[in-house]
Amino acid sequence: MSGIFCSLRQLSVSYRRGRNNAAALEGVDLDIATGERLAIIGESGSGKSTLARALAGLLPDGAKVGGDMLWPALGHPPRPGRDFGFVFQDPGTSLNPVLTIGEQIAEGARRHLGLSWKQASLRAEELLGRVRMPEPDKAMRAYPHQLSGGQRQRVAIAAAIAARPALLIADEATSALDVVVQAEIVRLLDGLVREDGMTLLFITHDIALASGFVDRIAVFRDARLVEAGPVHSVLSAPESGYTAALIASHRDLATPPLIAELSS
């Protein structure tokens, strides 16, 4: 890792509710290093997904954003689909049911990399191989409903990296999957970001899942950043009682089955 990829200073997000503003994020200061794998941890409503969507420019209309988001590594605000890729919890929100898998992945490569349809289709098939889809050539002609949940998530990852983004955001990308498939997807994400030198933002409520492969952990609660630091520091000496409670909820966080799986 070298340099700062993204720097957040007093980032706040709120929504209008009746006559009042409801805070979804409050005064977040956080640096994300180039090439690092950062986990954003917190329970539902803690602000972690709001942070991801704020970074990606995907906040809904009506959201009020304060503070600064600086992008020293890029030198400009990120371009959706080009500078970052976004993997959602439910691939059904990002995959078009009436287009083939090949068409959906190729479209991103064609639009952002300026490839011809033939070139983009070849890249789509290559990406399906990289995300370990069985028989990529046949998968190109399949539709989302013909695939399992784990396969759809692999397709969503392939689509997210089609334009060679610098930042990959995975927002609860494993929470709808069973434990075995979760391990496969985490192993896949880990390999892809290492091979392509991407920066990864891994959003999850599961601190044990993230602790096996990220570099740092940032813990959120009630729209605020509670603490952030290297994985081993946060796990061995948490500064917050909330973080300690999250760790205590796992019987043996130091050696969960997922970590053993990734290290094998």
Higher pLDDT, 64 or 94: 64
pLDDT in tens, 156-192: 999 999 999 999 999 999 887 888 888 899 999 999 9
**What pLDDT sits at residue 208?**
86
**What pLDDT sits at residue 1?**
53
Residue-range domains of the chain with CATH: 37-59+79-263 (3.40.50.300)
- Specify the range with the lowest mean pLDDT, choosing from 94-103, 107-116, 224-233, 243-252: 243-252
**What pLDDT sits at residue 257?**
44
Share above pLDDT 90 across residues of the chain, in percent, rounded to a whole number: 72
Q: What is the C-alpha to C-alpha distance for residues 154 and 157, in angstroms, rounded to an integer?
A: 5
pLDDT in tens, 220-258: 999 999 999 999 999 999 999 999 998 888 755 544 444
- Specify the range with the lowest mean pLDDT, choosing from 17-21, 31-35, 63-67: 17-21
Token pair, residue 137, equals 């050539």
- How would you label 113-141 residue by residue, b for 16+ Cβ within 10 Å and e otherwise? eebeeeebbebbbebbebbebeebeebbe
Query: Residue 264: which pLDDT band, with cuts at 50, 70 and 90?
Result: very low
**What pLDDT sits at residue 17?**
80
Amino acid letter, 62: G
How does the average pLDDT of the chain come out, rounded? 90
**Which DSSP symbol is given to 16?**
E
Contact 86, 160 (CB under 8 A): yes
**What pLDDT sits at residue 164?**
94
Closest CA to 175 of 216, 210, 219, 212: 210
pTM more than 0.85 = yes
Query: Residue 93: which pLDDT band, with cuts at 50, 70 and 90?
Result: confident
**What pLDDT sits at residue 76?**
87
Closest CA to 174 of 214, 232, 128, 216: 214
Instruction: Find residue 66's DSSP bridge partners.
Output: 12
Higher pLDDT, 249 or 115: 115
Please determine, for residue 136, whether its predicted confidence score (pLDDT) is greater than 60.
Answer: yes
